[in-house]
Amino acid sequence: MHSIAVLFLHGIIIGIAATVILDIWALVAKRAYDAAPANWALAGRWFAHMKNKRFRHENIADAMPVRGELAIGWLAHYIVGIVYGLLVVVIWSVQEVTYPSLGAPFLIGLVLATCAAWFAMQPGMGLGVAARKTPDPLRVRLRTIVNHVVFSFGLYVSAIALHCYLA
């Protein structure tokens, strides 16, 4: 039987590893498709402005820059990945941490994370719901989906790797 602390640690490891896989994908996509990587400085600016109860911007690029916003953005990126990893462990329960299935990683990594991007982060940063205010909303939406499929796969593969390591 796994203790809560062990399950918590599993969620953290799975979340970090899945986020690393997503970041590796971003590097591959940049080289292969010239896809611009996420701007973690602007994400950090958005998160930093939240301390002043500012959750929505017309254009986050026009918002007052924040000292350390790049570091804040990267930290937030990994914290969010950890939260999703923990949610996967919570949904799976003890049995599925031992024998992972695809359901929870794709529910959390694709459905929940994509909805969070489309309905919270993108509107909050001034891009509109599901990036409707961007020059090419369909392209941004597809990239959001592809990135979160990769993240979902990362959650699943990370859980399998952790299971194999601990077996």
* Type of residue found at 40: W
pTM of the model: 0.93
Residues 6+ apart with CB under 8 A from 15: 78, 81, 82, 83, 84, 85, 86, 88, 155
Q: Residue 27: which pLDDT band, with cuts at 50, 70 and 90? A: very high
Q: Which residue has the higher pLDDT, 36 or 76?
A: 76
Q: Residue 92: which pLDDT band, with cuts at 50, 70 and 90? A: confident
Question: Taking 90 as the threshold, does the pLDDT of residue 102 lie above it?
Answer: no
Q: Residue 95: which pLDDT band, with cuts at 50, 70 and 90? A: low
pLDDT in the model for residue 167: 77
pLDDT in the model for residue 94: 60
Structure tokens at 145: 């989906």
Residues 6+ apart with CB under 8 A from 28: none
Q: Residue 21: which pLDDT band, with cuts at 50, 70 and 90? A: very high
Euclidean distance between CA atoms 120 and 132, whole angstroms: 13
Give mean pLDDT, residues 60-88.
97
